[in-house]
Amino acid sequence: MLKQTIQDAINEQIKNELFSAYVYLSMSAYCQSINLPGFANWTRVQSQEEVGHAMRLFDYVIDRGGRVSLAAIDKPPVDFKSPLDLAEGTLEHERRVTGMINNLYELAVRESDYATQAQLQWFVTEQVEEEKSASAILEQLKMVGDNRTALLMMDMELGKRVAE
């Protein structure tokens, strides 16, 4: 059975992961509105991944005999200045999520909850990937600058991403 402090913290992270899904879905809508279907695809797949993360935690709470308690999700940002602004927001968001996961892991350590530490190790590793991916897109957009041809090539490349 999960300690109440761990259960509450994981329930909060479930909400945070679902908020992340909302953020990426909002980004996808923005990308569609400016005719960048590849960027829209990448962010939509990212949204689906975030739902998967939430469900991984959801199932973990249930597997440990806990109770999932879903909370309201805040409205995500809807306005972005440019693809570069969106990419900067993506990296900033992923860094915040990394902090949340690290705090949750620290709580599991303080509570001597070894099973939760093991479960969260996957998320720690996943956040390294998330930040790396967001950083790479941001750096490529910086290189692209105002070159529309390069932006369209990048868009085509991001359009190839498929859900895993």
pLDDT at 141: 96
User: For the chain, which ranges sit under pLDDT 70?
Assistant: none
pLDDT at 163: 82
Residues 51, 14 contacting (CB under 8 angstroms) = no
pLDDT at 164: 76
pLDDT at 41: 97
The hierarchical CATH code for the domain 4-158 is: 1.20.1260.10
Q: Rounded to whole angstroms, how far apart are CA atoms 116 and 136?
A: 30
pLDDT at 1: 85
Domain boundaries of the chain, sorted by first residue: 4-158
pLDDT at 73: 97
